[in-house]
Structure formats: C-alpha cells, structure tokens
Amino acid sequence: MPRDFSTEAVVLGSHRLREADRIVTLFTLDRGKVPTVVKGVRKVSSRFGGRLEPFTYLRVSLHEGRSLHTLTSADTIRTHAASRDHPAALKAGLSFINLLARETNDLEGRPRTYNLLVRFLDELDRLVKSSAAPACLPLLALSADLKLLLLAGYLPLLDNCPLCGRSIEAPARFSAAAGGAICNECRADAFPLSVTALTTMEALLKQPLSAVPEIIIDSGTAREVWRAIREICHYHLGIDLKIAPV
C-alpha cells in the first residue's frame, strides 16, 4: 500500500491532541477505523473548516504515519447537517456510531460495515428532511445496530431456541449468553421478551433501512429491543452502551 492514499470516509468523532491539533476518528472505505491527526484545525483559517463534524461524509487524502495517519485533504460529499441539527436524529446517529466505534478495530477493512454506516446516515437525513414520525429515528438506529451485529457475527437466533431447537412461542425470553431468544422449557440467564419485540427484531434485521418507517411499534417495545442489543454487546464484546437511541 502506498503511504499516501485517497479514500472515502465518515467522521465518527474527534478530540483535541495539542493546542492546535485534533485527532479525528474516520471510518474509511478501505481501512476501516483510522485515527487521524488534523494539524492546525483550531486555527480560524483552518482549511478543513466545519468538514470534520461527526456524520460528515468525505473524500479524503491521508498520509500513513508510524502510529497515526495525517489528513492532507478533505472534500465534502454530504454534510448530513440536517441530522446533526435535529436532537432525536443526533442522538440516534451518535448511538449507532458509538456502537460501531467500539465494535471495530483500528485499520481493519470492513467495506460492508462502511456501506451500512453511509446508508444509515443517508436514511437518517432523509427521514429528518421528510418530517417522518419521530419514532422512526430511534428505530432506524436499532435496525442499524442489529445489522452491524449480524455483519460482526453476533447475530442472535430469533426463530428457534439455541439450546433445544424448539421453535419460539409466546411468551419468549432472551439470553445473549445462550445465543438469542430461548423457549420457556430451557433454563438460562434470560429476561422476558414480548412477541412484538421478537418480531420487531426479525423485521429490523431482515428489512432494508429504507423500510424501517413502515415498522410501527410503541416505545416500550423499542426499549425491549434496545435491552436485547445491549445484552448482546455486553456479553460478546464486553462493552456497555451508554447512548440510548430510545
């Protein structure tokens, strides 16, 4: 690989490095998550201006360093500013980005995860601009969470009990440790999961992000789905998700 290269990237977040510099976490098409130094970003005249806000979709040129990459140019493809300026969309977006940032390793190429991220942000922006029902925004984040867990290999089994193979019937329970929804015959460290939450999880996994607005559920069901996602992340990844989209 050349030491200078161009790729597409989405800004996940940033923090200050020295007085004038920042570390910006980019999620790139070619190399996955890349911590990148941006020099002089705090100067008023910074050539990168507002292009390094979270959610911004860019064409970037990077110089590969020993431990960190350095940003040499950035051109905006889409700002996704509508989502950043809308409180519920901002929360939904940050919630998904937080999971993605913690689930992925630096410099691990994940093109399908990258495509999911771009599609998620595009859809979030489209929903905000179309004044869709407010419940759609957290549901979109839950759908992206589940699709990310599927890509990462942590897909929960939802239709058959992973312990005995029986098909799941109402009322069901959920256990991340056992691998998904479990039947009532099997003993496991599990919490109750309504049939509505179970079928919602299946729909959020199987339907494209663009079909999420057609899925209508109440906030209690959304919270059940979020709890199942948190349990999967806690058990398989050892991470506690703190930014709830619901």
Could you tell me which residues come within 8 angstroms of residue 234 by beta carbon, excluding any fewer than 6 positions away? 176, 240, 241
> Given the complex with Zn ion, which of 100 and 190 has the nearer CB atom?
190
d(CA 93, CA 174): 26
By CB under 5 A, tell whether 222 contacts Zn ion. Answer: no
> Residue 103 CB: number of other CB atoms within 10 A?
20
By CB under 5 A, tell whether 163 contacts Zn ion. Answer: yes
Q: Which of 20, 133, 164, 216 binds Zn ion (CB under 5 A)?
A: 164
- Per-residue tokens: 76: 């905006």
> Which range touches Zn ion (CB under 5 A), out of 105-113, 157-165, 216-224, 233-241?
157-165
Q: Which of 88, 89, 97, 183 binds Zn ion (CB under 5 A)?
A: 183
Residues 28-46, buried b or exposed e (16+ Cβ, 10 A)?
bbbbbbbbbbbbebeeeeb
Q: Which of 161, 193, 212, 217 binds Zn ion (CB under 5 A)?
A: 161
d(CA 41, CA 52): 9
CB of 168 vs Zn ion, minimal distance in Å: 8
Task: Name the percent of the chain in helix, strand, coil, to the closest 5.
Answer: 40, 25, 35
CB of 241 vs Zn ion, minimal distance in Å: 27
> Which range touches Zn ion (CB under 5 A), out of 3-11, 20-28, 128-136, 153-161?
153-161
241 to each of 96, 111, 121, 229, 238, how far by Cα in Å?
10, 23, 19, 9, 10
> Which range touches Zn ion (CB under 5 A), out of 33-41, 109-117, 156-164, 220-228?
156-164
> Which range touches Zn ion (CB under 5 A), out of 20-28, 32-40, 91-99, 182-190?
182-190
> Given the complex with Zn ion, which of 186 and 237 has the nearer CB atom?
186
By CB under 5 A, tell whether 176 contacts Zn ion. Answer: no
By CB under 5 A, tell whether 77 contacts Zn ion. Answer: no
| DSSP class per residue in 69-121 | EEEEEEEEEE--HHHHTSHHHHHHHHHHHHHHHHHSPBT---HHHHHHHHHHH
> Given the complex with Zn ion, which of 188 and 237 has the nearer CB atom?
188
Size, binding site for Zn ion by CB under 5 A: 5
Q: Which of 29, 186, 195, 205 binds Zn ion (CB under 5 A)?
A: 186
By CB under 5 A, tell whether 100 contacts Zn ion. Answer: no
Phi then psi dihedrals of residue 73, to 5 deg: -155, 155
User: Residues in the site for Zn ion, rule: CB under 5 A?
Assistant: 161, 163-164, 183, 186
